Structure formats: C-alpha cells, structure tokens
C-alpha cells in the first residue's frame, strides 16, 4: 500500500515525511471501552501523553504522599518509575504503579484509536482521509523508541497497551521495544553516509538535547561509533512568528548550532581524516535541507533562511576553513532508517512529544 504520509521531491529524487503524519494532533473523541479512560475524551494525543506530563504527575503525587524525589532532575524524573518498582517503600511502589497504569492505558487508547479508525474519531481528524486511516489499520508492527520506551518502564507500558486492545476485543499491533535507544537517530543517519568514509560528524538535534557522535564506515557498515558529550538544546522557545524578538532568537540558535557542529567536526578531525558529509537528525520536518516553519523550537530558523541546511553548511565550512556539506533529516525519518528491514512497521518515539518514523520511506 502506498504510504499517504509521504511525498516525493523531484529535486532530490527522495521521499519525505509531511506534517500529516503527526500523531500529536489526533483527538480521542471516542473510547470503545466505557470507564477505561473517560477523562481523556475530547483531548489530543499530546495533551494526554508525554514525558513532561508524566514528570509533572510524579511531582504532584510525590508532593502529596511525601515521597523524596530530590535525587532526580526534571529530565530523568521518569526513571523514578523504574527505580520505585524495586523500592522497599510501599508508597513509592503504589505511586509508580498508578502512574504507569494511567499513562500505559492512555498510550494504548491512542494506538487503539489509530488502529480502529472509528467514525467518531475520524470525524475530528480533519486533515486525514480514508487512506491515512487505512495505513494505520494495515500496519503490523509499532516500534516504540525514545526515552520512555526503554527498560522496565517500556515493558510495563506495553503490558497496558495490550490490555487496552484486549478489553476492546481488537487484534493488537506487534509492539516492539528498543532499549539503549539514546543514539538511534544518529545510527539511522549513518545509512546516509558514503559506504566508505573517514570520521563523520553525525548529530541529533532534539528538543531537549543535542546528541553528537563520530562514525566511521567501511564497506557499508559502521566500523567505529564514538559518542561525544551531549549538549543542551538552547533558545528553544516555541514561537513560529517572524517578530523581531523571534528573529533574534533564531540568530542566537543558529550561532549555537553552528559552533556545536563545528566543534563536533574538530573532534572527528582528531581521529584522523574528516568526512565532508555531516548528517543531522533534527526535530522538524525537512524537504531537501529546508525546514518546516510551524513545528517546534527549530522552526524559528526559517526566519533567517528558507534553505537552512545550505546556510549551516556555509557557516560551519567558514569556521573550519574547509568545505563540509550538511544534510538535515527529519528526526522520525532518521529512526525509521534504522529499522528499514522490518516490513509493515512504523516507529513511534515517546518523549517530549510523539515522533513518527516510517520504515518504508525511500531515501538515499
């Protein structure tokens, strides 16, 4: 079946993901099992499930129950749910179980909504037609990635997903979990490097962190993979306007990113030669190195260049005093490339928001 969420670029001869793929905008207008999650009816997927919502729930309940969570940062707070499972403190265990069940069921309802395509839910997804719903209905495998999919937490979320499908009498997706997925986007990007290349700078620009690594390839396979220090994402205020303030933030963000990429290339140079191809997974939709102006913290970069990949290539080349070519890749697509050998599957990243990657995308 042709993927209705993909379009084709005549310029690059590549497929690319359109904004239609967004799971975040799906609205739960109907839940087939009464009493299962009635409180989420009328809300969109990103209003009922995210790492931020889970972290806030932990804070709220921990404060009410007197549970000490001072050993966790805002970024790693969901790890409390794993740790509490092994805790001897019964209050911690009960608190964690309640949160995992709540959000596991919510995640299950979201997937059930996509799988069943009930008329009441189709009615409120105005940008989809029957082909989009049929695509989700015919999928066999959903690969869960991202910070919330690993470890015991991922396995417990999967249990609740299957419970929701069972309660609704619906055949579930084959749910695959992927542990150690912190650099899965960069590993997917490696497929876009030449078959044989010296040290290449490969980065993942997320909403929270900038992950960096150096990759060497030989005969099409990764021969060396070196992780570098992760940098924080900066200047990520969500503003898609062309106001002077937002344009100023765009310039600051651009300078920051250019320096991070250049520093990564310098680290690669220390290991020997430097591949002139720099591949970057970015939390934005991309078409031939151009960004989408209405998605996330990186959208503001559209204000300083419609072809941001070209601008970043020029800036980094100037800093390094040598030519490099930057290629920007939609973050979900980068993950999808890693799992391209799994048929009839889709990647769903669980983190700041839902990210979607298609394993059947044709990109070279």
Specify the DSSP class assigned to residue 20.
Answer: G
- The Cα–Cα gap between 8 and 15 comes to 4
Tens digit of pLDDT at every position of the chain (364 positions): 789 999 988 888 888 888 899 999 999 999 988 888 889 999 999 999 999 999 999 999 999 998 889 888 887 888 899 888 888 889 999 999 999 999 999 999 999 999 999 999 999 999 999 999 999 999 999 999 988 888 889 999 999 999 999 999 999 999 999 876 678 889 999 999 999 988 999 999 988 889 999 999 999 889 999 999 999 999 988 888 888 888 999 999 999 999 999 999 999 999 878 899 999 999 998 988 899 887 788 999 988 998 999 999 999 999 999 999 999 999 999 999 999 999 999 999 888 789 899 999 988 7
Q: Which residues, at least 6 apart from 181, have a Cβ–Cβ distance to it below 8 Å?
A: 145, 146, 149, 150
φ and ψ of 305, to 5 deg: -165, 130
> Which structure tokens are listed for 326?
């930057």
Query: What does the angle CA 117 – CA 121 – CA 124 come to, to the nearest 5 degrees?
Result: 130
Q: Which residues, at least 6 apart from 214, have a Cβ–Cβ distance to it below 8 Å?
A: 199, 200, 201, 202, 224, 225, 226, 228, 264, 267, 268, 271
DSSP notation for 136-194? HHH--EEEEESTTSSHHHHHHHHHHHHHHHHHHT-PPPEEEE-SS-TTHHHHHHGGGS-
Domains and CATH numbers, the chain: 24-177 (no CATH), 184-338 (3.30.420.40)
Q: Is the dihedral of CA 347, 352, 353, 355 positive or negative?
A: negative
Is residue 283 within 8 Å of residue 222, measured between CB atoms?
no
Is residue 33 within 8 Å of residue 78, measured between CB atoms?
no
Note the pTM of the prediction, 2 decimals: 0.90
Please report how the helices 308-320 and 244-269 are oriented relative to each other, as an axis angle in degrees rounded to 10.
Answer: 50
Specify the DSSP class assigned to residue 47.
Answer: H
Is residue 350 within 8 Å of residue 147, measured between CB atoms?
yes
Report the relative pairing of strands 231-232 and 209-218 from DSSP bridges. Answer: antiparallel
The CA-atom distances, in angstroms, between 42 and each of 30, 176, 220 are 8, 28, 48
- The Cα–Cα gap between 63 and 60 comes to 5
Q: Which residues, at least 6 apart from 75, have a Cβ–Cβ distance to it below 8 Å?
A: 208
What is the number of helices (H) and of strands (E) in the chain? 11, 16
């Amino acid at each position: 079946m042709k993927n209705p969420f993909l379009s084709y670029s005549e310029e690059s001869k590549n497929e690319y993901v359109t904004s239609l793929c967004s799971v975040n905008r799906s609205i739960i207008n109907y839940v087939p099992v009464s009493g299962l999650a009635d409180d989420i009816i009328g809300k969109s997927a990103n209003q009922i499930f995210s790492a931020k919502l889970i972290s806030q729930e932990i804070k709220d309940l921990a404060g009410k129950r007197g549970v000490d969570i001072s050993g966790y940062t805002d970024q790693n707070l969901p790890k409390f749910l794993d740790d509490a499972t092994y805790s001897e403190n019964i209050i911690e265990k009960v608190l964690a179980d309640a949160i995992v069940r709540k959000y596991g069921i919510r995640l299950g309802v979201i997937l059930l909504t996509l799988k069943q395509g009930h008329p009441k839910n189709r009615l409120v997804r105005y940008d989809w037609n029957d082909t989009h719903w049929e695509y989700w209905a015919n999928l066999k495998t959903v690969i869960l990635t991202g910070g919330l999919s690993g470890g015991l937490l991922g396995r417990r979320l999967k249990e609740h997903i299957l419970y929701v499908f069972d309660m609704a009498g619906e055949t579930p997706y084959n749910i695959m979990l992927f542990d150690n997925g912190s650099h899965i986007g960069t590993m997917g990007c490696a497929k876009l490097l030449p078959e044989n290349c010296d040290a290449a700078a490969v980065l993942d620009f997320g909403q929270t962190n900038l992950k960096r690594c150096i990759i060497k390839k030989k005969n099409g396979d990764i021969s060396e993979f070196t992780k570098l220090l992760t940098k924080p994402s900066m200047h990520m205020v969500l503003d898609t306007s062309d106001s002077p303030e937002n344009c100023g933030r765009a310039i600051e963000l651009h300078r920051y990113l250019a320096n991070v990429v250049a520093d990564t290339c310098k680290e690669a140079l220390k290991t020997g030669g430097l591949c002139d191809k720099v591949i970057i997974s970015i939390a934005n939709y991309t078409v031939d190195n151009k960004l989408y102006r209405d998605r996330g913290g990186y959208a503001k970069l559209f204000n300083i260049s419609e072809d941001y990949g070209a601008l970043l290539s020029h800036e980094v080349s100037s800093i390094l005093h040598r030519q490099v070519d930057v290629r920007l890749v939609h973050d979900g697509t980068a993950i999808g490339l890693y799992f391209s050998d799994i048929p009839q599957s889709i990647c769903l990243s669980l983190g700041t928001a839902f990210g979607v990657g298609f394993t059947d995308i044709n990109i070279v």
